[in-house]
Each structure stands twice: as C-alpha cells, then as structure tokens.
A and B are shown apart, each in its own frame.
Chain A
Amino acid sequence: MPILVKLLQRTSYNSLIEKLLDEFQVYAPVKKGKQVLYERIRAVHDMETDYLLPVLSAKSLVFPPVETLFTFERKKEGVDVLPVAVENLPERVLLGVRPCDARGIAILRQTFAQEPVDAIFEARFNKTILIGLSCATADEACFCGNRAGDTTGSDILLTQVSNGDYLAEIITEKGQRLVERHADLFETPTELPDKAAFVATVRGLDNVENLPALLKAAFDSKVFDQQSLACIGCGTCTYVCPVCSCFDMQDETQGSKGRRVRCWDSCGFSCFTVHTSGHNPRETQGQRWRQRVMHKFSYLPESNHTFGCVGCGRCIRSCPVKLDISQLINQIAHV
C-alpha cells in the first residue's frame, strides 16, 4: 500500500488522543519517577513529550512480561481447561512509539507468526494500533543506522516539524481506517515540510552486510570469552530489548485451581539451558554471550532475513556493567 502523507496539527493531535481515549485503551510514554515507560494513560496530559526512549520497549503490549495462557480447575469429573478468550482482549492504541520499537514488534511478529501461529500474540498484535513518532535526536547509545524515521512496524508514523505540527505517514490499512474515522483532523495541504530535515542521523553497526558470515567464521574464537568477562549474567539486556522473545512457562496453582503463565526469560541466565541431568550446554558466560550475538546477528538473518536487533541502544544504557554491545559487535566484525 503506498504511503499517504497528511498533516496533523498539534492541537488536532491532542483532539485525536481525546477521541481515542473514548474508544480504546490508550498507552503512551509516561514519566514514572526518574524514568519514562509506555503505560496506560487516561488523559492527554498524562503523556510525556520530553523523552528519547522509554526504558522498556513497546514489546510489552504484544508480548507482556507475564500473561495467562489458560486457567484450569480440577473437578471430580476431571480437569477443566479454559484458554484465554482472545476475542475479549481489549483494543489498544500505543502513541509515541519510536521507530526502533515499532520495528521490534514487526520482527517479533515474524517469530510468533511462524506455524503454529501463536494465537494470543496474533490477537494482541491485531488489536493494537501503533502510532509512531520519529526521532529528532539520538544519544550516544543509539545505533539504529539512520532509521530514526523508519516506517516499518508503525500503522501511522508522526514526524514533528518546526512549528510543532506533525507529518503523518499512513502506512497500513489499520492506520488508514483510523485516519478515515477521524478524517476531519488530518489535512492535505498542497505543500508538506521535508521529513528528512526533522529526523536525526544515527550511527549504525560497522560492516553490517558481512556480519552474519563474519560471525559464523568467528564461532570458535576466544573473543566471546574475552568480551563477556565483565558480564554479570543478569537478564537486563534481554528484558529491555524490543526484539528478544524467550519465555518460560509456569503453572501457578492455589488448591484445585490454577493457571499457566508465560513469562519473560533470558538466555543470559546461567540456568537457561540446564538439563534435568545437570548438564549445561552453555555453562560459561562466553557461550551465552556468543548465543546472544549469533542469534541476533547470524541465525535470525539466515532464517528470517532480518537482524534481531533494531539498534535502540537500550542494552547499552541499562547494562549494570555498561557493556557496549555495539562496540563489542564491531570488535568481532573486525576480528
């Protein structure tokens, strides 16, 4: 579908949000203490406008940290299992999503849409409208490779121009339907500002085209052990990442009732691959770091034709020991 571009005045954006609040559950970046997170808002002024990137990615909306898969109850006649009614999941709009986060959701969808399709993820995805916001600035941790205005993954992408109004690119049919319902708020002036002037230039990784092959060749290199000496093996980089999708499944019961939940897990944890026998195929942090790198920059490109990284830089910002993953990947690429 060709991308239509319209103008959304700043005041019209606020009006749009108010209308959306009537129709949907609306999520947006919200200030919580010293941090900004994507959270549900009840009023326009709840939304934070002064932020680069919320500390957690937007993946929580389609792949939450904890979600019930089904509930069960043991009765005399047997066990009743009640799957989550996906048709009852709420319709949502996420505002102010950065292009890297929107692209992250698109990549995640590739994983969950593989056969057999993950019905709960699909339902959440289908019921979520993403209204993105281009980045006018970047910080030293960003490495999206000049994708600060990328439309991938957003249903509508807004770019704020000099007078505070927004260029609105309508990318998907979902976005088109929303714009049609509020057509009075979107204008089609004869001249539109040039988007590129309002979007930041951002570094990317070195040698990106050759990365998958270079990494494959470096599989047995000692570089992974060296680089991961400082890693303390927490799950921070995994959990803040817009693309990481590993999860655990747990049954939580009280008496004869219970539920099966899916919850975030990290390949960085030492026990991630422990077998019941006690054997651990990835028993050193170097092996686990290698797995992270290979999965994102070699295996996923091979199988899904996409990197498993959007260059948002969260892993760099949040790592407790300040490991700079972009620097480390560049090092391996040159080894």
Chain B
Amino acid sequence: MEPFEPKIIAFVCNWCTYAGADLAGTSRLKYASNVKIIRFPCTGRIDFMLLQKAFANGADGIIVSGCHPNDCHYTSGNYHARRRWTIYKSLLDFTGIDTSRIAFTWVSAAEGSKWADLVNTTVETIRQLGPYTDMQELIGQSTHEPQ
C-alpha cells in the first residue's frame, strides 16, 4: 500500500505568487512537488466555483494565493478576492466542508521562500488530514442513483 501523497491545486495570481514560485525555482529551493499551479492574471479572477471543482475532481487540498493588499497589479483585484474568500470560507464552514484543507495566503514576487514553506506546510497538513473523501463520496452514491 503506497503512502498517501496529497494532491494539491494552487490558484495563484500571475504577478505576485506565480513570480514568487518562479523565484523559489530559480533560487533552487527544494520543496514538495505535490502542487499543481493554475495561473490567473489576478486573484480577483478566481471564481469560488473553481475551488469546488478542484475538490470534486480529487484534490485533497487547495492553495489560493495572490498579491498583498495594496500591491495588486490591477490595483484592487485582491481586495475583491478578499471579500469573496471571507464569505466563501464562512459558507464552507457553515456547511461542514473542511476549510483547513484550503490555505489562503498573500505571497509576493519576492517571497520565494515563503512559497516554498507554504507548499511544504500545506502538504504536511493535508498528509495528516488524509485524503479528502467527502466530495468523492458524493459521486455515484446519491440516494437518487440506484445502486
């Protein structure tokens, strides 16, 4: 039985976090390889449904990351994102979906080591929590679908 390797999807903005991840690479920082990065122009573009899609398609954990407040490349995209994440996280908490599997962060283009630490921490957190089965269990197990 192979040890559980978490599958993490990261939704990041191009100008800060993606550049920060790039910096981690060029600095030859070693960090866990469990993360698949999806690049957006801005965190303001991230639709909360995409996070749900990640879980529905088998992600065990999610990272959402962008520019620090006041530093958004498009001035205010991350401010909109901030409100959206606040409300979405509270909705997930209310429905009992495990938000400890989602890491919301600000990582700037200069914070290569913050990115590496973030990924390592998140992978370990998810490794402890185990595979995320709540969404997978909904597939094909519905009362409306005969067995």
A residues lining the B interface (CB < 8 Å): 39, 60-61, 64-68, 89-90, 124, 254
Q: Is B75 an interface residue (CB 8 A)?
A: no
Bound together, the chains give a CA A124 to CA B145 distance in angstroms of: 13
* Cβ contact within 8 Å between B145 and A64: yes
Q: B residues within 8 A CB of A254?
A: 57-58
Q: A residues within 8 A CB of B142?
A: 66
Per-residue A-contact encoding for B116-147, CB less than 8 Å = 1, 0 else:
00000000000000000000000000111111
Q: B residues within 8 A CB of A66?
A: 142, 144-145
- B145 — nearest CB in chain A belongs to which residue? A66
* Cβ contact within 8 Å between B57 and A67: no
Identify 19 residue pairs between A and B in the complex whose beta-carbon atoms are under 8 Å apart, listed by A's number.
A39-B143, A60-B144, A61-B146, A64-B144, A64-B145, A64-B146, A65-B144, A65-B145, A66-B142, A66-B144, A66-B145, A67-B145, A67-B146, A68-B145, A89-B146, A90-B147, A124-B146, A254-B57, A254-B58
- B58 — nearest CB in chain A belongs to which residue? A254
- Distance in angstroms from A25 CB to nearest chain B CB is 9
Bound together, the chains give a CA A122 to CA B78 distance in angstroms of: 55
Bound together, the chains give a CA A65 to CA B143 distance in angstroms of: 9
- Distance in angstroms from A91 CB to nearest chain B CB is 12
Bound together, the chains give a CA A39 to CA B147 distance in angstroms of: 13
Known: A64-B144, A64-B146, A254-B57. 11 other contacts (CB 8 A): A60-B144, A61-B146, A64-B145, A65-B144, A66-B142, A66-B144, A66-B145, A67-B145, A67-B146, A89-B146, A254-B58
Q: B residues within 8 A CB of A60?
A: 144
Q: How large is the interface on B (under 10, 10 to 19, 20 to 34, 35 or more residues)?
A: under 10
Q: B residues within 8 A CB of A124?
A: 146
- A56 — nearest CB in chain B belongs to which residue? B144
- Distance in angstroms from A39 CB to nearest chain B CB is 7
Q: B residues within 8 A CB of A39?
A: 143
Tell me the B18-69 residues at the A interface (CB within 8 Å): 57-58
Q: B residues within 8 A CB of A65?
A: 144-145
- B142 — nearest CB in chain A belongs to which residue? A66
- Distance in angstroms from B42 CB to nearest chain A CB is 28
- Distance in angstroms from B11 CB to nearest chain A CB is 19
- Distance in angstroms from B138 CB to nearest chain A CB is 12
Bound together, the chains give a CA A64 to CA B146 distance in angstroms of: 7
Q: A residues within 8 A CB of B143?
A: 39
Q: A residues within 8 A CB of B57?
A: 254
Bound together, the chains give a CA A67 to CA B58 distance in angstroms of: 22
Report, nearest first, the 7 A-B pairs whose CB atoms are least far apart. Answer: A65-B144, A66-B145, A64-B146, A66-B144, A254-B57, A64-B144, A66-B142
- B146 — nearest CB in chain A belongs to which residue? A64
- Distance in angstroms from B139 CB to nearest chain A CB is 9
Bound together, the chains give a CA A310 to CA B144 distance in angstroms of: 23
Residue with the greatest number of chain B CB neighbours at <10 A, chosen from A60, A66, A67: A66
- B140 — nearest CB in chain A belongs to which residue? A68
- Distance in angstroms from A259 CB to nearest chain B CB is 9
Bound together, the chains give a CA A65 to CA B142 distance in angstroms of: 10
Q: A residues within 8 A CB of B147?
A: 90
Bound together, the chains give a CA A64 to CA B57 distance in angstroms of: 24
Q: B residues within 8 A CB of A90?
A: 147
Bound together, the chains give a CA A63 to CA B32 distance in angstroms of: 48
- Distance in angstroms from A236 CB to nearest chain B CB is 15
Q: B residues within 8 A CB of A61?
A: 146
Bound together, the chains give a CA A65 to CA B147 distance in angstroms of: 13
Residue with the greatest number of chain A CB neighbours at <10 A, chosen from B142, B144, B146, B147: B146
Bound together, the chains give a CA A60 to CA B58 distance in angstroms of: 29
Bound together, the chains give a CA A124 to CA B146 distance in angstroms of: 10
- Distance in angstroms from B79 CB to nearest chain A CB is 35
Bound together, the chains give a CA A60 to CA B144 distance in angstroms of: 8
Bound together, the chains give a CA A89 to CA B147 distance in angstroms of: 8
- Distance in angstroms from B45 CB to nearest chain A CB is 24
Bound together, the chains give a CA A61 to CA B142 distance in angstroms of: 14
Bound together, the chains give a CA A309 to CA B56 distance in angstroms of: 39
Q: A residues within 8 A CB of B144?
A: 60, 64-66
- Distance in angstroms from B53 CB to nearest chain A CB is 11
- Distance in angstroms from B22 CB to nearest chain A CB is 28
- Distance in angstroms from A5 CB to nearest chain B CB is 33
- Distance in angstroms from A217 CB to nearest chain B CB is 40
